[in-house]
Amino acid sequence: MIGEKKDTQVTTDRATNGYKPTHTARPTSEFNYKELADIYNQTRLDYIVPMPMNAKKMEEYVTNFSVDLDASVVVYNQEGQMAGLGMLGIRDDRAWITRLGVIPERRGKNLGMFMMTTMLDAARQHRCRLVQLEVIRGNTPAYRMFHKCGFHDSRDLLVVRRPPGTIPFDNPEPDAVVTNLSAADIQNCLDNRSEGASWLDESISILKAGNLNGLRVTLPTGESGWIVYQCTAFQLSFLVLHTPSHLRDRMALALLYNMHSRHPMQDTKYENIPAFDLRWPVFQKIGYVEAFRRIEMFLYF
DSSP annotation of 171 reads: -
Instruction: Look up the pTM and report it.
Output: 0.89
159-292 matches 24-150 in CATH topology: yes
Tens of pLDDT, residues 214-234: 999 999 999 999 999 999 999
pLDDT at 16: 47
The residue that leads in pLDDT, 175 or 6, is: 175
Containing 215, the helix (H) or strand (E) segment is strand 212-218
Domain ranges of the chain: 24-150, 159-292
Q: Which CATH architecture has domain 24-150?
A: 3-Layer(aba) Sandwich (3.40)
d(CA 153, CA 194): 21
Cα dihedral 106→110→114→117 (10° resolution): 150
pLDDT at 18 over 60: no
pLDDT at 286: 97
Residues contacting 105, CB < 8 A, separation 6+: none
Tens of pLDDT, residues 29-55: 999 999 999 999 999 988 777 788 999
Tens of pLDDT, residues 152-209: 999 999 999 999 999 999 999 999 999 999 999 999 999 999 889 999 999 999 999 9
Residues contacting 65, CB < 8 A, separation 6+: 89, 96, 98, 199, 200, 205, 208
DSSP annotation of 16 reads: B
Containing 270, the helix (H) or strand (E) segment is strand 267-274
The CATH code belonging to domain 159-292 is 3.40.630.30
pLDDT at 4: 41
d(CA 157, CA 144): 18
